[in-house]
Chains A and B, each alone.
Chain A
Amino acid sequence: MKIKGRVHKYGSNVNTDVILPAQYLHISDAKELAKHCMEDLDRKFAKEVQPGDIIVGEANFGCGSSREHAPIAIKASGIACVIAKNFGRIFYRNALNIGLPILESEEVVEGLENGDQVEVDLASGMVVNVNKRKSYQAKPYPEFMMQLITAGGLIEYTKRRLAKKSPS
């Protein structure tokens, strides 16, 4: 799958509290959550984001709370992919589980600036900075994660496992 969009770049340790503040955690509707996405870090984000855009963070993106509302809000806001040097471990799992593509790469993060137009090929992990005419290679997913992704996420993966356990 190919993604084309604009980069919204942030710093290190972007935590799930600023991605989706706790005062909205009683909400479960994804579109409603998207209205508050990044609210405590960047008030302009929710207004300016366009479908296909990409969030780029430095280290430890999505650290903090286990709230799945955070990746849900990002995905529902139209963001097609998050790229960071590394991720908070719960966010990493949550993002894969709900089908928000994420890529890990120091090189890609260093090579992208706020506002850059980029193309991302999720299957290969190839990222092209259209403005700078440079391309970068993100880390491939570990084999097990690839199985999860190919199955269509954790829900589909678990559905299949349960079906195997109890054939009815």
Chain B
Amino acid sequence: MSMTIAEKILAAHAGKGGVTPGEIINVQVDVVMVHDLGADLAIDSFREIGAKRVFNPEKIVLVIDHLVPAKNAISAAATRKMRQFAREQGIEYYEVGRTGICHVFLPEQGLVLPGDVLVGSDSHTGTYGALGSFSVGMGSTDIAAAMATGDTWMKVPPSIKFVYHGKPGKWIGGKDLILYTLGQIGVDGALYSAMEFTGEAVQALPMDGRLTMCNMAVEAGAKAGIIGVDSKTLDYLKPRAKRPYKVFESDKDARYARVYEWDVSHLEPQVAFPFLPANTRPISQVGEVRIEQAVVGSCTNGRLDDLRVAAEVIRGRKVHPDVRFIINPGTQQVYLDALREGLLEIFIEAGAVISTPTCGPCSGAHMWLLAPGERCIATTNRNFVNRMGGDGSEVYLAGPAVAAASAIMGKIGSPEEVVR
């Protein structure tokens, strides 16, 4: 029976020889990821289920990222509840100062590996598909049940294959490929499906760029994004993986619900206009859009490679006087690496501010929010109505090169316009 990588991973975790799309199966999970926004309700549901112990404390990862620094006394109490739960259950707890944004932290620390089934309390959990895992976002009650039993029900998704041909230009990253894809298929273009990203242009991406692509699969309504393992993945995992893992790959004659093939050799940097991530335009068609804020960070683009790209654009230049440029390293490790490479110095000399690792403005919960009517270019993943702040505020999504160029110009612009 020929299967896609997603189907093979699910079959293996359901103890079956094969699975077909639409089938409802029970799967064993390798990792349950719970972040602070999901933990409060998940812990309540866990108690309500009547479970005494989690199925395996070593397979549960608790990350505090949305409500750090504590927004107010209520959010401080919510994270304390998470800390106490970790102690009670013998789960390792990564305290502030030793962690960062969940989707940057888990791959970086080797906590998720190829062939894993991971469920997480965040919708962008699909990020880890870039490592050849099947990772799915769920709500708090589903996560509570998975913590109690070590398994969960899933409907096997149909797979859609995306093939990116060609060698795109210097400033094109994973963010541009995924924004372009969203623009082509729409915010429900992959509803309930697994998006499998392949082709020369994907293989050429650094791991950080691949994580960015899978991160935003959910913006097309997908259940998961996934990229097959290659030598780059294995190199990335070598210093990180602390347990054995199994590599799965799609059969050559695997069945796909649809196949999209694009030549991205001449792809321009992409920008998603308010108020949908699929509302994309190439940079040449953006027109005059003034901004008051630019953000490089988040689970989409808060990794070292993203900071390197932004630094390359802004090195020796200055942030526009009317703009606040916020650099948000995704984890403490990214922060430290950026410091050692001299990237932070470049940003500070340009007039940018370096933020502590946090989901911050992306989630809109708090930190670096917009005043009513303000505009922001951000490397984040959602530009919904009032996502980042006040009434009538607008978020434009792009990669780190465009964000940095825009911070310099005071309006949305291309890195080509500032770096010659």
Hey, which bits of chain A sit against chain B, CB under 8 A? 12-13, 15, 17-18, 21-23, 25-28, 40-41, 59-60, 63-69, 71-72, 86, 88-90, 93-94, 97-98, 142, 144, 153-155, 158-159, 161-162
A-contact bits for B39-73, CB 8 A (1 contact / 0 none): 01100110011110000000000000011000110
- List, in ascending order, chain A residues with CB within 8 A of B141's CB: 68, 94, 97-98, 153-155
Q: Are A64 and B385 in contact (CB under 8 A)?
A: no
Q: Which of B71, B140, B148, B364 contacts A162 (CB 8 A)?
A: B148
- List, in ascending order, chain B residues with CB within 8 A of A27's CB: 74
Q: Are B191 and A86 in contact (CB under 8 A)?
A: yes
- List, in ascending order, chain B residues with CB within 8 A of A64's CB: 123, 382, 384
Q: Are B140 and A68 in contact (CB under 8 A)?
A: yes
- List, in ascending order, chain B residues with CB within 8 A of A66's CB: 38, 121-123, 125, 137-139
- List, in ascending order, chain A residues with CB within 8 A of B145's CB: 154-155, 158
Complex alpha-carbon distance, A162 and B292, angstroms: 53
Complex alpha-carbon distance, A84 and B36, angstroms: 30
Question: Which chain B residue lies CB-closest to A153?
Answer: B141
Q: Which of A26, A98, A153, A162 contacts B74 (CB 8 A)?
A: A26
- Beyond A17-B382, A66-B137, A88-B221, whether A97 also contacts B142 by CB under 8 A is yes
Contact sample, A vs B, 12 pairs, CB 8 Å cutoff: A17-B387, A18-B386, A22-B363, A22-B365, A22-B387, A26-B78, A67-B37, A89-B191, A90-B138, A93-B138, A162-B50, A162-B51
Complex alpha-carbon distance, A63 and B222, angstroms: 10
- List, in ascending order, chain A residues with CB within 8 A of B72's CB: 26
Hey, which bits of chain B sit against chain A, CB under 8 A? 24, 37-38, 40-41, 44-45, 48-51, 66-67, 71-72, 74-75, 78, 121-123, 125, 137-142, 144-145, 148-149, 153, 187-188, 191-192, 221, 223, 276, 363-366, 382, 384-387
Q: Are A21 and B364 in contact (CB under 8 A)?
A: yes
Query: 5 closest A-B pairs (Cβ-Cβ)?
Result: A94-B139, A68-B139, A97-B141, A22-B364, A60-B188
Complex alpha-carbon distance, A104 and B37, angstroms: 28
Q: Are B149 and A68 in contact (CB under 8 A)?
A: no
- List, in ascending order, chain B residues with CB within 8 A of A162's CB: 49-51, 148-149
- Beyond A26-B67, A162-B148, whether A155 also contacts B139 by CB under 8 A is no
A127 vs chain B, min Cβ distance (A): 22
Q: Are B66 and A59 in contact (CB under 8 A)?
A: no
A120 vs chain B, min Cβ distance (A): 24
Q: Which of A18, A28, A93, A142 contacts B40 (CB 8 A)?
A: A28
Q: Are B192 and A63 in contact (CB under 8 A)?
A: no
